[in-house]
Amino acid sequence: MVRVWGGGIYEEQAFYDVCDELGILVWHDFMFGCGNYPAWPALLDSIKREAEENVKLLRHHPSIVIWAGNNEDYQFAESENLTYDINDKDPDSWLKTDFPARYIYEKVLADVCASLIPD
- CATH label of the domain that carries residue 104: 3.20.20.80
Tally the domains of the chain. 1
Mean pLDDT (the chain, rounded): 95
Q: Domain residues for 90? A: 2-116
Distance of CA 114 to the CA centre of its chain: 12
Query: pLDDT tens digits, residue range 14-23?
Result: 999 999 999 9
- Do 6 and 51 touch, CB atoms closer than 8 A? no
Chain centroid to CA 119: 17
Report which of 66, 65, 62, 55 is spatially closest to residue 22, judged by C-alpha positions: 62
The residue-averaged pLDDT of 7-16 equals 93
Query: pTM for the complete prediction?
Result: 0.92
Active site residues: 72
